[in-house]
A and B are shown apart, each in its own frame.
Chain A
Amino acid sequence: MLLLSVVVVFAAVFALPLLPGFLEIVRPRDCKALNVDQGYVRDPHFFGESSRAKIRSYLQETHGQMPFLARFLSRRSEFAFADARIEIKDGQTARNVLLAEECIVFGDGARVLDAYSAGTMLLGNGVAARTLLCDGPMSLGEDCRIDRWIDARGDITVGHGSVLGSSATTAQRLELSAGVRFGRAFGLPVVTLSGASTGLPGQTRANAEVVADGAQVDGDLIARRDLRIGDGCRIRGSVKAHGALVIGSGSAIAGNVIARADAWVGDSVTVGGHLFCEGDLRLGDGTRIGNAVRHKSVYCGKHLELGNGVRIFGWVVTEPLGRAIA
Chain B
Amino acid sequence: MTAAQAPAGTSPSRDEAAARRAILPHRSYRTLPSTATGAFAALACTVLVELALALYFAPLARTLTRADASVLQRMGFPVGLESTAFLGKALTALTFTMPVHRYLELVLWILACLAGIVVFTVLKSPPAPLRYFVNFNLLIVCSEATYLLFAGHLGYSARGFSVLMLRTMIVTWFVIPAFVGAMVALFPFRAWETAAVIVVCVGYDFLLEGVRYAAFAALLTHTGPILMSDLFLLYGPLLDIIPIIGIFAIALAYLSRRMQTSVGAWEWL
* Given A20-B250, A80-B1, A98-B3, residue A181 in contact with residue B16 (CB < 8 A): yes
State in angstroms the CA–CA spacing of A150 and B27 once bound together.
Answer: 25
A157 CB within 8 Å of chain B:
no
Q: Which residues of A contact B1 (CB under 8 A)?
A: 80, 82, 86
Considering only CB atoms, which chain A residue lies closest to B9 in the complex?
A95
A96 CB within 8 Å of chain B:
yes
Considering only CB atoms, which chain A residue lies closest to B15 in the complex?
A147
Residue in contact with B10 in the complex, picked from A15, A113, A146, CB distance below 8 Å: A113
Q: Which residues of B contact A18 (CB under 8 A)?
A: 242-243, 246
What interface size band does chain B fall in? 35 or more
**When each residue 214-256 of chain B gets 1 if its CB lies under 8 Å from chain A and 0 otherwise, what string results?**
1100110010000000000000000100111011011001000
- Interface residue ranges of B15-44 to A (CB < 8 Å): 16, 18-20, 22-23, 27
Do residues A147 and B10 form an inter-chain contact, with CB atoms below 8 A?
no
B261 CB within 8 Å of chain A:
no
- Interface residue ranges of A95-154 to B (CB < 8 Å): 95-96, 98, 111-113, 128-130, 145-148
Do residues B13 and A147 form an inter-chain contact, with CB atoms below 8 A?
yes
- Interface residue ranges of A1-21 to B (CB < 8 Å): 2-3, 5-7, 9-10, 13-18, 20-21
Do residues B22 and A148 form an inter-chain contact, with CB atoms below 8 A?
yes
A92 CB within 8 Å of chain B:
yes
Q: Which residues of B contact A95 (CB under 8 A)?
A: 3-7, 10
B101 CB within 8 Å of chain A:
no
Do residues A148 and B19 form an inter-chain contact, with CB atoms below 8 A?
yes
**When each residue 19-43 of chain A gets 1 if its CB lies under 8 Å from chain B and 0 otherwise, what string results?**
0110000000000001000000000
Do residues B219 and A3 form an inter-chain contact, with CB atoms below 8 A?
yes
B253 CB to closest chain A CB (Å) equals 8
State in angstroms the CA–CA spacing of A14 and B12 once bound together.
Answer: 53
State in angstroms the CA–CA spacing of A17 and B250 once bound together.
Answer: 8
Do residues A319 and B269 form an inter-chain contact, with CB atoms below 8 A?
yes
* Given A111-B12, A113-B12, A129-B12, residue A319 in contact with residue B242 (CB < 8 A): no
Considering only CB atoms, which chain B residue lies closest to A15 in the complex?
B243
**When each residue 198-220 of chain B gets 1 if its CB lies under 8 Å from chain A and 0 otherwise, what string results?**
00000010011001101100110
Do residues B218 and A6 form an inter-chain contact, with CB atoms below 8 A?
yes
Considering only CB atoms, which chain B residue lies closest to A181 in the complex?
B16
State in angstroms the CA–CA spacing of A5 and B75 once bound together.
Answer: 10
B11 CB within 8 Å of chain A:
yes
Residue pairs across A and B with CB atoms within 8 Å: the count is 116
Do residues A6 and B16 form an inter-chain contact, with CB atoms below 8 A?
no
Do residues B214 and A6 form an inter-chain contact, with CB atoms below 8 A?
yes
Interface on chain B toward A: helix, strand, loop, or mixed SS?
helix
Do residues B211 and A145 form an inter-chain contact, with CB atoms below 8 A?
no
Do residues B6 and A7 form an inter-chain contact, with CB atoms below 8 A?
no
Do residues B250 and A166 form an inter-chain contact, with CB atoms below 8 A?
no
Do residues A3 and B207 form an inter-chain contact, with CB atoms below 8 A?
no
A103 CB to closest chain B CB (Å) equals 12
Select the residue from B1, B72, B208, B268 with max chain A CB neighbours within 10 A.
B1
B2 CB within 8 Å of chain A:
yes
Do residues A88 and B243 form an inter-chain contact, with CB atoms below 8 A?
no
B96 CB within 8 Å of chain A:
no
Q: Which residues of A contact B12 (CB under 8 A)?
A: 111-113, 128-130, 145-147
Do residues B215 and A10 form an inter-chain contact, with CB atoms below 8 A?
yes
Considering only CB atoms, which chain A residue lies closest to B269 in the complex?
A319
Q: Which residues of A contact B72 (CB under 8 A)?
A: 6
State in angstroms the CA–CA spacing of A12 and B65 once bound together.
Answer: 20
- Interface residue ranges of A153-188 to B (CB < 8 Å): 163, 165-166, 181, 183
Do residues A14 and B22 form an inter-chain contact, with CB atoms below 8 A?
no
Do residues A9 and B246 form an inter-chain contact, with CB atoms below 8 A?
no
State in angstroms the CA–CA spacing of A82 and B1 once bound together.
Answer: 7
Residue in contact with B246 in the complex, picked from A7, A21, A94, A321, CB distance below 8 Å: A21
Do residues A87 and B2 form an inter-chain contact, with CB atoms below 8 A?
yes
Do residues A14 and B4 form an inter-chain contact, with CB atoms below 8 A?
no
- Interface residue ranges of B50-109 to A (CB < 8 Å): 72, 75-77
- Interface residue ranges of A77-95 to B (CB < 8 Å): 80, 82, 86-89, 92-95
Q: Which residues of B contact A163 (CB under 8 A)?
A: 16
Do residues B19 and A93 form an inter-chain contact, with CB atoms below 8 A?
no
- Interface residue ranges of B175-217 to A (CB < 8 Å): 204, 207-208, 211-212, 214-215
Do residues A10 and B212 form an inter-chain contact, with CB atoms below 8 A?
yes
- Interface residue ranges of B109-129 to A (CB < 8 Å): none
Residue in contact with B215 in the complex, picked from A7, A87, A92, A146, CB distance below 8 Å: A7
Report 21 cross-chain contacts, Cβ distance below 8 Å, ordered by A residue: A2-B218, A5-B75, A6-B219, A9-B215, A14-B208, A16-B204, A17-B243, A17-B244, A17-B250, A20-B246, A80-B4, A88-B2, A93-B11, A96-B3, A112-B12, A113-B12, A128-B14, A147-B22, A148-B22, A165-B19, A181-B16
- Listed in ascending order, the chain A residues whose CB lies under 8 Å from chain B are 2-3, 5-7, 9-10, 13-18, 20-21, 34, 80, 82, 86-89, 92-96, 98, 111-113, 128-130, 145-148, 163, 165-166, 181, 183, 319, 321
Given contacts A6-B72, A93-B3, A129-B12, 18 further A-B contacts (CB under 8 A): A2-B75, A5-B75, A7-B219, A9-B211, A16-B204, A18-B246, A20-B249, A21-B246, A80-B4, A88-B2, A92-B5, A94-B4, A95-B7, A111-B11, A128-B11, A128-B12, A130-B12, A183-B20
Q: Which 4 residue pairs of A and B lie closest in terms of their CB atoms, listed nearest first? A: A17-B246, A94-B3, A95-B6, A10-B215
